[in-house]
Structure 1
Amino acid sequence: MTTLIDRIVAVPAPWAYVIIAVLVFAEAAFFVGFVLPGETAVVLGGVLAATGRLSVAALLVLVVFAAVAGDSVGYEVGRHFGPRILVTRPLRRHAGRLARAQGTLRERGGWAVFLARFAAFLRAVMPALAGASRMPYRRFLAFNAAGALVWGVGVVLLGFFAGHSYAAAERALGRTSAVLLAAVVLALAVGVLVRRRRRHQSLG
């Protein structure tokens, strides 16, 4: 039976993979994370994997690879432009937060790169800041890949279990109850992400 989520998200599976990968990649590579965090697309991908539309294993590999690749491009952008990256249009409006992010990078080094993966603003800018600071790429890659792995698995599974809850409820309770449960589960999942993002913004 076609689920509610299948009808809402009618994008063919190959295109769903492409869209998710592009958003995750572009988040740090082109600072798209300021507008649309890739995390949102990954959660939705996890929901689709729970309905059988996508392979959860393929999605995990794709998300982690896209995150590492996009951050590596962001690193090279920062390395090439150096401090000039801080006065570009996407970043100059966030001078205070950037200064604090740079301070964190100086104090924590690679761990700042790892932890940045879990905050939307830092996830978008930390690779470029690491490149501009001339952090050795191998060190950056090690911490970035570790962060991407933990983040990718966690966010995909968040969406996966939210979607799986809907599918199980639909079979056991019927469509109306399942829709209500899906709304609650997805609202909670989005709420967790929003609260975490706001908390990091207030700290960052």
Structure 2
Amino acid sequence: MLENFNALTDGLPPALIYLLIAFLVFAEAALFFGFVFPGETAIIVGGILASQNKLSLTLLLIIALVAAVVGDSVGYEIGRKYGPRLLGTKAMRKHKSKVAKAQDLIRRRGPLAVFIGRFTALLRALMPALVGSSKMPYPKFLLFNFIGGVVWVVTFTLGGFFAGEAFERFAKEASRGLTIAVAVVIVVAVIVWSVRKHRREHAEDEDVADESAEAPELTGS
């Protein structure tokens, strides 16, 4: 029953696990932590733990949703107050292609961009601040932020939960050695998928940045 995964969490009290998940989800947009670690990984892992009765699924969904909405609201407020200065920061300049895409999405889709951005790691980190700097009214932002948060939290948390339950059924019919091997594969696959998707988004930004840096040299030749 995900023995290796359990070993990593057995010593942690549920309250600490809830707090860690809440922090990672909150910090994704509020502190731009999404540049480093996608929050969806945290709630997928939380869902797996809930399938093992280590966490309450209902409480996990509530905590993750509140953390997502509050974190995005903090990001929105940062963008509203610091707008132009925020765009000049190193983090924003490094991801200027994503910033440009997000700004274009906001212009074309308005508040719907808040919902759409929820499902891409870097856009999830950038969107609240960019929407705030665009002076979109907060009530409109909050509505679409809440709807997107509900869909995002439920989708990824239940994804982890049902994956964990499916593994439980498999574990009852498989040998202990095979169970451990599959457990390792499941956990590693989830983490690798999330990290690779994140790195791919970073690589796209770096390619655009390199092309932009080379453009003046080509013009001057």
| C-alpha contact (below 8 Å) 2:98/2:123 kept by paired residues | no
- Structure 2 counterpart of 1:81, which letter? Y
Tell me how far 1:2 sits from its aligned partner. Answer: 8.6
Aligned mates of 2:147, 2:101 — CA distance in 1? 23
User: Match of 2:33?
Assistant: 32
User: Match of 2:114?
Assistant: 113
Aligned mates of 1:43, 1:2 — CA distance in 2? 14
User: Match of 2:48?
Assistant: 47
| C-alpha contact (below 8 Å) 2:79/2:131 kept by paired residues | yes
User: What does the per-residue CA deviation read over 1:97-143, in whole Å, with 9 as the maximum and x for residues that have no partner?
Assistant: 21121011111111111011100000001000000000011110111
Aligned mates of 1:102, 1:2 — CA distance in 2? 42
- 2:55 aligned counterpart, secondary structure: coil
Aligned mates of 2:44, 2:163 — CA distance in 1? 9
Residue 8 (structure 1) aligned with residue 8 (structure 2):
yes
TM-score computed with the length of structure 1 as normaliser: 0.90
Tell me how far 1:191 sits from its aligned partner. Answer: 5.5
User: What does the per-residue CA deviation read over 1:9-37, in whole Å, with 9 as the maximum and x for residues that have no partner?
Assistant: 23221100000001100110010111111
Aligned mates of 2:20, 2:124 — CA distance in 1? 19
TM-score computed with the length of structure 2 as normaliser: 0.84
Tell me how far 1:78 sits from its aligned partner. Answer: 0.3
Aligned mates of 1:2, 1:101 — CA distance in 2? 39
| C-alpha contact (below 8 Å) 1:101/1:122 kept by paired residues | yes
Question: Quick one: structure 1 residues 194 and 35, their matched pair in 2 at CA, closer, same or farther if it must change by over 3 Å?
Answer: closer
Question: Quick one: structure 1 residues 189 and 174, their matched pair in 2 at CA, closer, same or farther if it must change by over 3 Å?
Answer: same
User: What does the per-residue CA deviation read over 1:62-88, in whole Å, with 9 as the maximum and x for residues that have no partner?
Assistant: 111100000000000000112221112
| C-alpha contact (below 8 Å) 1:5/1:48 kept by paired residues | no
- 1:165 aligned counterpart, secondary structure: helix
Question: Quick one: structure 1 residues 178 and 75, their matched pair in 2 at CA, closer, same or farther if it must change by over 3 Å?
Answer: same
| C-alpha contact (below 8 Å) 2:115/2:145 kept by paired residues | yes
- 1:103 aligned counterpart, secondary structure: helix
Aligned mates of 1:30, 1:163 — CA distance in 2? 30
Aligned mates of 1:25, 1:161 — CA distance in 2? 24
* Structure 1 runs (4+) greater than 3 angstroms displaced: 1-4, 183-204
Aligned mates of 2:123, 2:2 — CA distance in 1? 38
* Contiguous gaps of at least 5 residues in structure 1: none
| C-alpha contact (below 8 Å) 2:65/2:153 kept by paired residues | yes
Aligned mates of 1:2, 1:96 — CA distance in 2? 40
Question: Quick one: structure 1 residues 29 and 116, their matched pair in 2 at CA, closer, same or farther if it must change by over 3 Å?
Answer: same
Q: Which has the higher contact order (CA 8 A, sep 6+)?
A: 2
Between stretches 174-183 and 139-148, larger displacement belongs to 174-183
Question: Quick one: structure 1 residues 6 and 186, their matched pair in 2 at CA, closer, same or farther if it must change by over 3 Å?
Answer: closer
User: Match of 1:128?
Assistant: 129
Tell me how far 1:197 sits from its aligned partner. Answer: 4.7
- Structure 1 counterpart of 2:4, which letter? L
Aligned mates of 1:200, 1:112 — CA distance in 2? 18
Give runs of aligned pairs for residues 89-104 of structure 1, distance below 5 A. 89-104=90-105
Structure with larger Rg = 2
- Structure 2 counterpart of 1:89, which letter? K
Aligned mates of 2:94, 2:2 — CA distance in 1? 45
